[in-house]
Amino acid sequence: MQEIYIKPYKNNKIEGKRQIQIKDVADISAPKHLKSQIESICLFKPQVTKLTHFVVSIITIIDAIHKEYPDISVQNVGEMDGVIEYNPVKPKPHPVWEWVKLILVCIIVFAGATVAIMAYQTDVSMAKTFTTLYKVFTGEINDSPAWLTVPYAIGMPLGIIVFYNHIGTKKLTEDPTPIQVEINEYETKVEDTIIDTLIAEKRGQYEE
C-alpha cells in the first residue's frame, strides 16, 4: 500500500478561487507521480458571495484522497482542524486609502502613547522623584533638574526601542518582538475560537 504524509495548515487565507484544493490547506509528501495529482484534488466549492470562514478537518481531506485513491494510506503530521478565511473576490488595495489608514493609526498610537506616558509620570510622581534625587546629590532644591530630566527623556525612547527590538522597519536582533509574540498568541486564540464555533454550528450546538 502506498503511504503519503500530509501536514494541514491551521490558518488559511484564500481569495478569488472558485474551488478549495488540498494544496491550498495542506503540505503533501508523496512520490512525484502522485503529489501533484493529490494536491489538485478539490475539497469543496464555496457557494458564498462575501468573506466567510470555513473549518476543514483532516477527516475531510483524507476522505477526499481516498475517494480518488482508495489504496493510499494517509499519515497526518499536522493539525487536526484548520480554518479557511475565504473571500470570493480578491480585494484590490487602494494606495490612497492605505496611506489614510496608516496616518490615522499613527495619530491614534501617538496620542495614546503620549497620554499613557504622562499618566505614568503623574502616577509615580516622577517630578517629585527628580527633585528629591537632586536634593540628595547636591543638597539644593530645584523643581526642574535638567541633568536628571534630560537623560531620562533620552533613555525612555531608547529603552522602548531596545524592548520592542525595532528601529523603523529594521529589527535589532532576529528574536521576535513582544508585539509579534502577543499578536501570535491573539491570532492563535482567535483561530481556536473560530474552529470551535464552526464545529459547534455544524453539529447544531451553537446558539447566538
Domain that holds residue 17: 3-87
What is the DSSP secondary structure assignment for residue 9, as one 8-state letter?
Answer: -
Phi, psi of 170, rounded to the nearest 5 degrees: -105, 140
pLDDT at 168 over 70: no
Domain assignment of residue 104, yes or no? no
pTM above 0.75, yes or no: no
Q: What integer pLDDT is reported at residue 208 of this predicted model? A: 45
Domain assignment of residue 42, yes or no? yes
Contact 23, 96 (CB under 8 A): no
pLDDT digits (tens, 9 = 90+) for 110-155: 898 889 888 888 888 888 888 888 888 888 887 777 777 788 888 8
CATH code for the domain in which residue 67 is found: 2.60.480.10
Domain count, the chain: 1
Domain assignment of residue 99, yes or no? no
Domain assignment of residue 185, yes or no? no
Domain assignment of residue 69, yes or no? yes
Domain assignment of residue 57, yes or no? yes
